[in-house]
Amino acid sequence: MKLTRTNRSEGSTTLARRAGSYVRAAGMFAAQVTAGPRPRPRPCPALQDESGQGVAEYVIILAVIVVAAIILAVAFHEQLAAVWQSVTSQLGDLA
């Protein structure tokens, strides 16, 4: 920041005003530093409740297993149909 004087009397008052504002700003900064950090706001109690977290994890695991089973059933459809036919025919022979 460049301080210039246009008039001798005007320059000294402008300079003094600017210097005063710097001192006030420095004083406010010093007050903030010495006051220490502001206390953190407490989070909402509903966000701290983790009682449903375990259930949600089990649901996700179950969903992954179901998707994997569907993918395997579609991929091995013909082999599964042959095995199913063999099992049902053998059970029919026992009856």
Mean pLDDT of 73-92: 94
The residue with greater pLDDT, 21 or 90, is: 90
**pLDDT at position 1, please?**
52
**pLDDT at position 41, please?**
75
User: What's the pLDDT tens digit per position in 35-67?
Assistant: 667 777 777 777 777 777 889 999 999 999 999
Quote the CA–CA distance of 57 and 54 in Å, as a whole number: 5
**pLDDT at position 63, please?**
98
Quote the CA–CA distance of 47 and 14 in Å, as a whole number: 54
- SS3 track for 61-78: HHHHHHHHHHHHHHHCHH
**pLDDT at position 44, please?**
77
